[in-house]
Amino acid sequence: MGVHHRSSRYGRYTGGPDPLAPPVDLAEALDAIAEDVMAGYSPRHALQEFLRRGSRSRDGLDDLAGRVQQRRRELLGRHRLDGTLEEVRKLLDTAVLEERKQLARDAMMDETDRAFREMQLQNLPSSTAAAVNELASYDWQSSSAREAYERIKDLLGREVLDQRFAGMKQALENATDEDRAAVGAMLRDLNELLDKHRRGEDTDADFQEFMARHGQFFPENPQSVEELIDALAQRAAAAQRLLQSMSPEQREELMRLSAQAFGSPELMAQLDQLDASLRALRPGEDWTGAERFEGQEGLGLGDGTGVLQDLAELDGLAEQLAQSYNGSNLDDLDLDALARQLGQDAAVTARTLAEIERAIQDGGYLRRGVDGDLRLSPQAMRRLGKSLLRDTARQLSGRQGRRDTRTAGAAGEQTGSSREWQFGDAEPWDVTRTMTNAIRRTIADGGDPARGLRLGMGDIEVAETEARTQAAVALLVDVSFSMAAEGRWVPMKRTALALHHLVSTRFRGDRLQLITFGRYAQTMDIGELTALPAVREQGTNLHHGLLLANRFFRRHPSMQHILLVVTDGEPTAHLVADGHSWFSWPPDPETIRVTVAELDRLGRAGTQATFFRLGDDPGLERFVQRMARRIDGRVVAPDAGDLGAAVVGEYLRAHFRSLYDDGDWVS
């Protein structure tokens, strides 16, 4: 006898990598996480938000949770729970109709007997269960009527077993008395095993002996008595929730009908004992819940129990996807259950998100700072900086202008070696190696170099040089609250990170100092600036920022001094003699005076200055124009989205000022 069973085992996915799964894109994840970190989220919160939102090409946890809820609504909206009652009613109607036909055509029947039988059939109770019970002792004259009635008992027996053991309804169809006896023996042995387990008297040998005798009834192949109990209890609890989801009338009908299952009261006694044992062994299962079904597709007891199991599984997945419990992580996701309920693509998505979470947490992209908080690690900062610089390069490449070839190679002395071209390179091309690379690539792609070559960016190599000039660069960024309120907070941080990456990877001889100025100014490393939260505090103390810049430049007297100032407001604060910050709005004349005086000192030292004005405030525009004129500086007014390209472009222009005409450099 074959028993078909829908697997209901739970646990982590243990299969190998899915060959169809998209590759894990850590760069995209890190970009998104860093964006949220720069907006003020903690790295852990930023990671959770990315996993919830997903990416351009991949669903996130919220998308999967939405599909879980949609699947739940579909199940409740498609089904109703009177399928077994409906099947029984159809079989009963068939039996009664066939019996009436037989009574009508049996000419030899005693008329009194005929009238009595017709009266019995005519006066059957309206309740299906009561009618079935009343006909239990009826002496059927029609063999087809008797067969239909016996099928009611068989159906009920298979349904009540299917409630506890998925697949029994199909497996016992057309079963023999021997098959039914085997089920009875299994139930007796199962109840004995569970009873011993409740008393703590069972052994592993008892379980192994039980499985050897009755393993065909448990295709999920439990490996211990605990696994066996888990599977049975989940199913039995779902069966109880099914009954509680019915109307009182439906529930009463089914309870009365169950007495007719296989025509065997012993079967129901065994099942009642099984339910009691499972409830005692697994009290934590949901034995009292109920659902509201509103569909038109009738469900039998077994199928209905399966749907209740599905609903419970969906509820478990919803909790796992919410990740709202202490210590939650995506390794908790039951990928087998996701695949069952939503399809293999959902399991692939969840597994990929879990891999991203694991790679970021275990791959060194987050580290704990001295204050105990998680921060983006230097490795993550380098990766993000590279991505931001690449975006900046694309923006710069679209600007109008041309490269001045008359000065090519003048940036330094050639070392004799070459390397692949990178953004920011001003060195001359190594033509021989560039052409060789193009020829090799063309041949590898199946082309014929004799028919012509098309250079790619990856083909270009430049002659390495030793830079003749080095620069000390002070990037001053306004961190007053208006920067955050006007949507300039994240672009400011992205700009600082792009410039930091360019200096640290392509201009290692330069020195970069990041200085923030709000009510006070302070120097920061790139990690501190990236994690800096927006604080609602009044004050734009450019005076203090220029003081720190001047101090930084004095430490590097032999270098070219480059000052880059990003601000969206006039100076409204300055340092007084006791070190405190004096704030005034509108700007106090003393604030303007000391700020200008500090700028003049920078100008006398030969500092090249550029002011990046954000916003259209007329007062700010007048102020930065006057400041720039005092020291022969420049003013740039980019949109927030173009700030990175503007700052990097001005850094390169100032760095190569002696080599390129003003405004003529682009990448």
What DSSP string describes 599-612?
HHHHHHTT-EEEEE
Tell me the C-alpha distance between 665 and 651, whole Å. Answer: 11
Cα–Cα–Cα angle for 254, 255, 256, nearest 5°? 90
Across 360-385, average pLDDT: 72
| Tally of domains in the chain | 4
Name the band, by pLDDT with cuts 50, 70 and 90, for residue 372: low
Top-confidence residue, 387 or 497? 497
- 581 and 537 fall within a common domain: yes
Range of weakest confidence among 231-240, 369-378, 508-517:
369-378
Name the band, by pLDDT with cuts 50, 70 and 90, for residue 400: very low
Domain annotation covers residue 461: yes
Residue 614 has pLDDT above 50, yes or no: yes
Name the band, by pLDDT with cuts 50, 70 and 90, for residue 399: low
Task: Indicate the residue among 406, 435, 465 that finishes a domain.
Answer: 465
Domain annotation covers residue 403: no
User: What would the two tokens of residue 631 be?
Assistant: 């020291």
Across 23-50, average pLDDT: 76
pTM (two decimals)? 0.64
- 260 and 191 fall within a common domain: yes
- 420 and 500 fall within a common domain: no
User: What average pLDDT does the chain have?
Assistant: 84
- 419 and 370 fall within a common domain: no
Domain annotation covers residue 384: no
CATH code of residue 523: 3.40.50.410
Domain annotation covers residue 493: yes
Domain annotation covers residue 7: no
The residues pairing with 433 across neighbouring beta strands, listed in sequence order, are none
Give the number of other Cβ atoms within 10 Å of residue 156's Cβ. 26
- 220 and 271 fall within a common domain: yes
- 506 and 629 fall within a common domain: yes
Domain annotation covers residue 664: no
Name the band, by pLDDT with cuts 50, 70 and 90, for residue 330: confident
Q: Which domain holds residue 35?
A: 26-78+313-376
159-193 pLDDT, tens digit each: 888 888 888 888 888 888 888 889 999 999 999 99
Task: Indicate the residue among 312, 327, 359 that finishes a domain.
Answer: 312
- 275 and 146 fall within a common domain: yes
Give the pLDDT of residue 665: 37
Domain annotation covers residue 338: yes
Give the pLDDT of residue 417: 61
- 134 and 214 fall within a common domain: yes
Closest to 572 (Cα-Cα) out of 590, 556, 585? 585
- 132 and 204 fall within a common domain: yes
Task: Indicate the residue among 258, 282, 312 that finishes a domain.
Answer: 312
Residue 15 has pLDDT above 60, yes or no: no
Contacts of 218 (CB under 8 A, 6+ apart): 5, 211, 228, 231
469-496 pLDDT, tens digit each: 689 999 999 999 888 888 888 889 889 9
- 433 and 526 fall within a common domain: no
Single-letter amino acid code for the residue at 40? G
Q: Are the C-beta atoms of 442 and 448 separated by less than 8 Å?
A: yes
Domain annotation covers residue 631: yes
Give the pLDDT of residue 557: 92
- 183 and 103 fall within a common domain: yes
- 512 and 497 fall within a common domain: yes
Q: Are the C-beta atoms of 666 and 656 separated by less than 8 Å?
A: no
Top-confidence residue, 644 or 468? 644
